Structure 1
Amino acid sequence: MSTAADATVRELMLVMPRLVGRAKRTPPPEQLRDLDLAPRHLSLLSLLVLDGAMTVSELAGKLGVAPTTVSLLVGDLSRKGVLERREDDTDRRRRIVDISAAGRPAIVEWLSPGARAWRHALAPLTDEQRRMFVDTLLRYEQAVQPSGDDR
């Protein structure tokens, strides 16, 4: 006997591969194609596009990874000219990370369709429903994540 939950699982098992497939078929802009960007790079770039410049510690907190992991990602993308680090005007000991002026247009153009699609999909939901949706995706991510994988 199939339950309503089973029907929902079935539907999600069909839609998730399509979503992943579409995401993989969205090529990065020409300027970024040779950079060998991984999903964790995209998460970091998305945060910087949506939330603006921030410190490595702030990025690490929002990404849920260690600051050393973010430092490695930032170093990699800085060497490739995608990110830049600058002194914090209020505390010269802190370094602020941001997308480089040269890289920003291509990154914004690449990530904007996904942000628009999420806004469209989430628009009819209440704040509580949006939170439940995100929490559900996070629980799913946790359940399928191999042990020891830090994203």
Structure 2
Amino acid sequence: MQELISGVRSFNRFYTRVIGVLGAGMHETPYSLTEARVLFELYQRGEMESAEVRRALGLDAGYLSRMLADFESRGLVTRERSAADARRQVVRLTADGHATCKTLDDSSAAAVRDLLAPLTEEDRRRMLAAMTTVREVLEPAPRGVPYVIRPPRPGDLGWIVHRHGALYAEEHGWDHTMEGLIARIVADYTDGHDPRREACWIAEVDGRPAGSILCVRGPDPRTAQLRLLLVEPSARGMGIGSRLVEECLTFARTTGHTRIVLMTVSALDSARRIYQRAGFQLDEEHRDVPAYGTHVDEQWWSRAL
């Protein structure tokens, strides 16, 4: 953890210097970076209550009040009491304010353009991808983000093995034998795949895999087995797990199966709740089974189709 903390702090210091360089492009105007942010927020929104500006940018109320008074004296903004609530203050840009924002915006774009100019196209793509990753990790995805359920593409089966191994190690401390088990399940599915009776689905969010599930042959011709349900942490809460299970149940039902089974372990609470909501019932449980470098309570669940 200490190494991670040091790495994040080092990056912060580096990026602060970069932001300073970009901010220098605004020094041809009399506005600081913070003042430019306030003006740009107003530029984007048209008008805002002063309290909204303060919350959006995390500014001290007194500091913002003095800044807006200065803007007003320069003819950049107007301030007036809200018609709905006299305790609130509405701030709007003037024509001069809009012109100033356009100048600041052009200056900022030029600074970024100069920063990117020496880079190759590949380095630009890598930098944008890295910035996007940082933002996605630190900023929870909005729950309204759409997702797609689709058949697997080349590389997706390898992704299933990798993400199961990595996530179970991170979240439950399971060792490499878990990844080996997943690899064998995927290999068996690939080698003996019968598309009339077996299928795999990938959940995709923003063009990237975010979940998986398999429907494979069970212990007898009339029984299917649900396997390898997984949802990425960044995509949880969107209903993807339940949607994948429903896809599996529908496929098993329409391909002539009359029953479906699955095996899980008691530690996987979220998955168990999804199975219960989908109508699965616990058939048997084996406690303290040595597996994955630890001991687990192995459970078998099933339901009629």
Measured after TM superposition, the shift of residue 19 of structure 1 is: 3.8
Give the number of the structure whose residues are more often strand, by fraction: 2
Report the secondary structure of 1:102's partner residue: helix
Residue number among 125, 130, 133 corresponding to 2:132 in the alignment: 125
Q: In structure 2, what is the Cα distance between the partners aligned to 1:13 and 1:109?
A: 28
Matches within 5 A, 1:48-127: 48-91=42-85, 94-111=88-105, 114=108, 121=128, 125=132
Give the number of the structure whose residues are more often helix, by fraction: 1
| Alpha-carbon contact 2:46-2:92 (below 8 Å) kept | yes
Measured after TM superposition, the shift of residue 76 of structure 1 is: 0.9
Q: Structure 1, residues 29-77: CA drift from partner, whole Å, max 9, x if none?
A: xxxx3xx423321221121122331111111111222333221111111
For the pair 1:24 / 2:24, whether they are aligned, the reply is yes
Q: What is the one-letter code of the residue matched to 1:21?
A: V
Partner of residue 140, structure 1: none
Q: Using CA pairs below 8 Å that are at least 6 residues apart, which structure has the higher relative contact order?
A: 1
Q: In structure 2, what is the Cα distance between the partners aligned to 1:4 and 1:93?
A: 46
Q: In structure 2, what is the Cα distance between the partners aligned to 1:69 and 1:10?
A: 29
Note closer, same or farther for the CA distance 1:129–1:24 as it changes in structure 2 (3 Å cut).
Answer: same
TM-score, normalised to structure 1, is 0.57
Q: In structure 1, what is the Cα distance between the partners aligned to 2:136 and 2:40?
A: 23
Q: What is the root-mean-square deviation in Å for CA atoms of aligned residues?
A: 3.7
Q: Which has the larger radius of gyration?
A: 2
Measured after TM superposition, the shift of residue 90 of structure 1 is: 3.9
Q: Which moved more, 1:53-62 or 1:81-90?
A: 81-90
| Alpha-carbon contact 2:79-2:89 (below 8 Å) kept | yes
TM-score, normalised to structure 2, is 0.32
Q: In structure 2, what is the Cα distance between the partners aligned to 1:99 and 1:16?
A: 29
Q: What is the one-letter code of the residue matched to 1:97?
A: V
Q: In structure 1, what is the Cα distance between the partners aligned to 2:65 and 2:24?
A: 26
Unaligned runs of 5+ in 1: 133-151
Using the aligned pairs only, state the percent identity: 17
Partner of residue 44, structure 1: 38
| Alpha-carbon contact 2:75-2:94 (below 8 Å) kept | yes
Unaligned runs of 5+ in 2: 113-124, 141-305
